[in-house]
């Protein structure tokens, strides 16, 4: 069994009118089955309102299933006795960095999590050192978090989660409010944690460039998982992605357009290098 596994997961909430009377039931997550293996880098894509954030909030028991089950590190999240273990297994990073930082100094903020886990002081400092190093923020340890850029703040938030030593980090649109530089910083950091530390990463996003190096991609629409596979497999279905209000990188789009116009290109080209190689091969064959 994987580190996070959901079986027929359903989440419903009741819509109410102004007087608080129930108006109807909304199903935000609908019969989702997922199985994420330890050490994987998994991306969950979907447009606004597709249910991806609701699904993410089940991964550390911020929401509990209406029907079905989700296990985090073998523990059923719906049992209250498991809550502590579930949250220690899966740490969460949210969209807005300003809502996640509480310390007045960077290193204090990072130490907040392990302190709450009653980790001995000596060990807390070790973890703070290591976490700040892992996200490349050691130089800022004595700085005030509110003077940092958005990307730096998100890296501090990630360090704060790292210091609790979770086996898995769930990032819910961590780059949506950042500029292109901040976005790159955060994604580079997350990828590095996955590679160097072997932490399982679940990245929720609607930026396609961020999922190219994922091991596995899930696409959500209307609360369901509608596509699943490697990035190459998923991006090869360009037309279908557009139907789910998503986009592909320009290189994939260009390859797809050229293929439609009759050029013999492979499906799901994700990198400029692959594209250039194929175009040059076609050019040589055409003998011009």
Using the contact rule CB under 8 A, the part of the chain among 44-52, 55-63, 102-110, 217-225 near other proteins is 44-52
Asked if 249 touches other proteins (CB under 8 A), the answer is yes
**Cα dist. 183→133, 249, 280 in Å?**
19, 16, 32
- Of the pair 112, 244, the CB lying nearest other proteins is at 244
Window contacting other proteins (CB under 8 A); options: 67-75, 212-220, 222-230, 252-260: 252-260
Instruction: Tell which one of 27, 64, 254, 267 touches other proteins (CB under 8 A).
Output: 254
Tokens coding 164? 């609790």
Instruction: Give the integer Cα–Cα distance in Å for 43 and 210.
Output: 8
Ramachandran bin of 121, using left for φ above 0, alpha for ψ from -120 to 50, beta for the remaining angles: alpha
Size of the site for other proteins (CB under 8 A): 36
CA distance 186 to 203: 11
In the complex with other proteins, which residue's Cβ is closer, 124 or 248?
Answer: 248
Here the tokens at position 125 are 């400092």
Asked if 206 interacts with other proteins (CB under 8 A), we say yes
x-or-dash pattern for other proteins, window 79-118, by CB under 8 A? ----------------x-----------------------
Residue 49's Cα: distance from chain center in Å?
16
Question: In this structure, are strands 41-46 and 216-221 parallel, antiparallel, or unpaired?
Answer: parallel
| Residue of the chain from 8, 16, 195, 283 that contacts other proteins (CB under 8 A) | 283
Smallest distance, other proteins to C-beta of residue 51, A: 13
* DSSP, res 258: H
Least distance in angstroms from the C-beta of 207 to other proteins:
9
**Ramachandran area for residue 37 (φ above 0: left; ψ -120 to 50: alpha; else beta):** beta
Question: Which one among 83, 117, 212, 279 touches other proteins, defined by CB under 8 A?
Answer: 279
Within a 10 A sphere around the Cβ of 208, how many other Cβ atoms? Answer: 22
Which of 68, 97, 150, 160 forms a contact with other proteins (CB under 8 A)? 150
**Sequence-distant (≥ 6) Cβ neighbours of residue 199 within 8 angstroms:** 39, 162, 166, 167, 168, 169, 193
Q: Which of residues 162-191 bind other proteins (CB under 8 A)?
A: 176-177, 179-182
Q: Is residue 263 a contact point for other proteins (CB under 8 A)?
A: yes
Residues that bind other proteins (CB under 8 A): 47-49, 95, 149-150, 176-177, 179-182, 206, 245-247, 249-251, 253-254, 257-258, 261-263, 272-273, 275-276, 279-280, 282-283, 286, 288
């Amino acid at each position: 069994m994987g580190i996070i596994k959901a079986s027929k997961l359903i989440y419903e909430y009741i819509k109410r009118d102004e007087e608080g009377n129930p108006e109807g039931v909304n199903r935000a997550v609908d019969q989702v089955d997922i199985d994420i293996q330890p050490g994987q880098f998994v991306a969950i894509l979907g447009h606004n309102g597709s249910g991806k954030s609701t699904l993410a909030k089940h991964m550390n028991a911020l929401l509990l299933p209406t029907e079905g089950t989700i296990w985090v590190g073998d523990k059923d999240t719906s049992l209250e006795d498991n809550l502590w273990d579930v949250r220690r297994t899966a740490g969460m990073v949210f969209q807005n960095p300003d809502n996640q930082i509480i310390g007045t100094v960077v290193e204090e903020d990072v130490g907040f999590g392990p302190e709450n886990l009653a980790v001995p002081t000596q060990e807390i400092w070790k973890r703070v050192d290591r976490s700040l190093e892992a996200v490349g923020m050691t130089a800022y340890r004595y700085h005030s978090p509110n003077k940092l850029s958005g990307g730096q703040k998100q890296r501090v938030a990630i360090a704060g989660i790292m210091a609790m030593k979770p086996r898995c980090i769930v990032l819910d649109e961590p780059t949506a409010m950042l500029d292109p530089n901040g976005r790159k910083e955060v994604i580079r950091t997350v990828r590095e944690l996955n590679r160097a530390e072997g932490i399982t990463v679940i990245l929720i996003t609607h930026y396609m460039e961020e999922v190219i190096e994922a091991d596995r991609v899930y696409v959500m629409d209307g609360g369901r998982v509608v596509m699943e596979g490697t990035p190459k497999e998923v991006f090869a279905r360009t037309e279908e992605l557009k139907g789910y209000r998503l986009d592909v990188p320009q290189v994939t789009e260009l390859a797809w357009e050229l293929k439609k116009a009759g050029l013999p290109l492979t499906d799901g080209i994700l990198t400029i290098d692959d594209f250039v190689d194929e175009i040059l091969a076609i050019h040589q064959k055409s003998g011009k």
